[in-house]
Structure 1
């Protein structure tokens, strides 16, 4: 599975049986019944899985926030189009030109699903989260597919549904009408299935039940399909979990799978400043204090401790120093910033104990590795802070009362928001809680935030993303205020 091959290569045999090394993808709807046979590179293995995980993380955030179906679709669609696009089948006239692109998109979708199966089969909690998010993703794709694709799905898989004959439908006409919200479609087809396979429809009283059999109208078949999808995926994950020990000796894949199974995305940080001074990546040491207003709580906590104690321990220096590097502090300015911050130490002490580590983070000493700012996942999985340490994630490591006090210090006074943050933390949705803080502290008439608010907005998964968006938001607010002032002056 680590070397890309051309389509439909079948040069190997297994006990005399030809092995087809690639699959056809006639449409977008996939129950993932057959594992991928094509070979991919290690880079594709990790990149495709992370892209899919970005989508599933956004779905999970929407589910946790109890967003409606339409609002959720609006929020997920831009993320899905960016990281896991799945174009519909082209018209006959343009089929040849786009077939290669479609195959690559669907191959990525197919492979990434099975990669995440390996990552999320490890525990009951991970399996539950994966099934819920994948089922929601399938629902979005099914509801946006055309009739031909939906029909192709039903003919490709045997769901074991029993059609209701016209005679039986006439005999049960009044009962079926009562169960269909008093608005029956006389021409609608019905299927018979065991009632336990459609719990949502039973709960909503949208089906007629007799002798343990639910009579499901065709208009409600999506619920049946989603139940089939989630049940099959659940069984497949259990089988995968039993087979997982076979990978114990593969030191190429296990670190990747362990990273993915954390449930967070830890992407490499790439600045996305719109324009202005920071577009050049330059921040002066003297500017840092004025920029703290744009820092996430984890970094503002470290900054406050640094200013108070004139010192940070190793893990705090690493976390905060790489964050400052990410916002544009050059190595020269970093040396100035840390020297001024560690004012209680002599020049010799600073040069001996700290200068090397600062230059090392910039790839100028030792192995010459150019370290990247920590993502939320790295911060959450790193060593927890102990006495006189201030690194880590406040949403995970602070007590609830201390966390609420710290959030209130950022200007969040809405009791509903504070209560929601408490619930997020109790449910270990730390990135959701951080995104909620961003939402509450970045509101202005006429300006839309680009994180966590409204359709298509991604949750906070990186402290530098928080900073970037906050800085951009402040600039947009300033532009609106300047435009209003000019209008009044005119």
Structure 2
């Protein structure tokens, strides 16, 4: 099997991580994906060790982590592989993406709080160097802000100041400016003072501004490459299987129901759903359609919540028989595709095809 672009898998046991613009970077900011090959089983270990740690960190239970810490060390290839592969796998639904990105942002905050001075200096140097070569549509303001920020804090006087014991959390001795549209979250929450289109960043805000730009950078990549990422997962059964395991791991802590879900009580039961599934339920009720991946994962979730086959068919028949208001995405009608829909639902319940018992 020949090499494929962007997240390709050329052999049954090797994953080639996508090579968009190449180059190894300080992994904490993940500006570019890594190059090279890595065994599939190592990739899986990197992904699920990382996912476990992210969830524990989010719940403030990181001390309970019993996985392989070497896969999470900054500057390690395993950490880089874990981040970029997990980024690819969660791209299949907006809900899983937001779940993951919230935790990745928290991991960055955790790391910044524990950096040694030499590590921080190296981080700024690498961000400065890699940002100069970063070229994505619509990324000009982010790129420019990263360059300004890194160059500012690499000034000897400024750097010595922010790592000193006397540096306070409200210090404003060395301010600088960034474009306001590079950090809309900080503008929205009024954490920045505005001056003619620029946000004033004080030296005590270096962690906050790094975290905001990190979030913007990764979200920009998702907005640009979302379709390519989803197609990459969908085209390779190994990635698709790994993606299903990731989604299951994300949802497992919240799949708790004392009563079976039916087509009649689903609106009441939906109040107990995790936010991502509750959102899909509301979207379906409003638009009467879901995207392929959203429908797949929501169907599995309902099955795991106790919805039997007859109720599942009745529920989806009711929704997909109604006029849709989707401007894009799925526009199929139950009346025209009834056999296809029923077969698909039976397949998820392990009654058609290979009779695999899928789980959420």
TM-score normalised by L of structure 1: 0.39
Q: How does 1:209-220 map to 2 (within 5 A)?
A: 209-220=194-205
- Give the CA deviation at 1:216: 0.5
Instruction: Render the CA deviation track for 1:34-54: whole Å, top value 9, x for unaligned.
Output: 222232222222222111111
1:235 aligned partner: 220
Q: Does 1:134 align with 2:104?
A: yes
Taking a change above 3 Å as real, the CA distance of residues 184 and 46 of structure 1, as seen in their structure-2 partners, is: closer
> Which structure 1 segments of 5+ residues have no match?
6-18, 63-71, 89-101, 166-180, 266-375, 381-392, 403-421, 431-490
Secondary structure, counterpart of 2:250 in structure 1: coil
- Determine if contact 1:191/1:217 at 8 Å carries over to the other structure: yes
Taking a change above 3 Å as real, the CA distance of residues 254 and 192 of structure 1, as seen in their structure-2 partners, is: same
- Determine if contact 1:396/1:428 at 8 Å carries over to the other structure: no
1:309 aligned partner: none
Match of residue 189, structure 1, among 170, 174, 181: 174
1:425 aligned partner: 272
- Give the CA deviation at 1:86: 6.9
Taking a change above 3 Å as real, the CA distance of residues 182 and 156 of structure 1, as seen in their structure-2 partners, is: closer
Q: Does 1:261 align with 2:242?
A: no
Taking a change above 3 Å as real, the CA distance of residues 115 and 396 of structure 1, as seen in their structure-2 partners, is: farther
Match of residue 394, structure 1, among 257, 261, 264: 257
Match of residue 36, structure 2, among 10, 18, 38: 38
1:361 aligned partner: none
TM-score normalised by L of structure 2: 0.51
- Mapped to 2, the partners of 1:135 and 1:210 lie a distance apart of 27
- Determine if contact 1:197/1:224 at 8 Å carries over to the other structure: no
- Give the CA deviation at 1:215: 0.9
Q: Does 1:107 align with 2:77?
A: yes
- Determine if contact 2:47/2:85 at 8 Å carries over to the other structure: yes
Greater C-alpha radius of gyration: 1
- Determine if contact 1:49/1:113 at 8 Å carries over to the other structure: yes
Aligned residue pair count: 224
- Give the CA deviation at 1:247: 4.5
- Give the CA deviation at 1:254: 1.8
Instruction: Render the CA deviation track for 1:139-163: whole Å, top value 9, x for unaligned.
Output: 1111111122222222222342347
- Mapped to 1, the partners of 2:29 and 2:171 lie a distance apart of 31
- Mapped to 2, the partners of 1:78 and 1:233 lie a distance apart of 28
Secondary structure, counterpart of 1:155 in structure 2: helix
Secondary structure, counterpart of 1:137 in structure 2: helix
Instruction: Render the CA deviation track for 1:223-242: whole Å, top value 9, x for unaligned.
Output: 21111111111122234432
- Determine if contact 1:395/1:425 at 8 Å carries over to the other structure: no
Alpha-carbon RMSD across the aligned residues, in angstroms, is: 4.1
- Mapped to 2, the partners of 1:211 and 1:203 lie a distance apart of 16
Instruction: Render the CA deviation track for 1:30-79: whole Å, top value 9, x for unaligned.
Output: 2222222232222222222111111222344x3xxxxxxxxx4xx32552
- Give the CA deviation at 1:424: 8.3
2:51 aligned partner: 53
2:211 aligned partner: 226
Secondary structure, counterpart of 1:145 in structure 2: coil
- Mapped to 2, the partners of 1:146 and 1:424 lie a distance apart of 45
- Determine if contact 2:88/2:233 at 8 Å carries over to the other structure: no
- Determine if contact 1:200/1:223 at 8 Å carries over to the other structure: no
2:144 aligned partner: 160
- Give the CA deviation at 1:183: 6.3
Instruction: Render the CA deviation track for 1:81-128: whole Å, top value 9, x for unaligned.
Output: 74444787xxxxxxxxxxxxx87xx22111111111121111222222
- Give the CA deviation at 1:220: 0.3
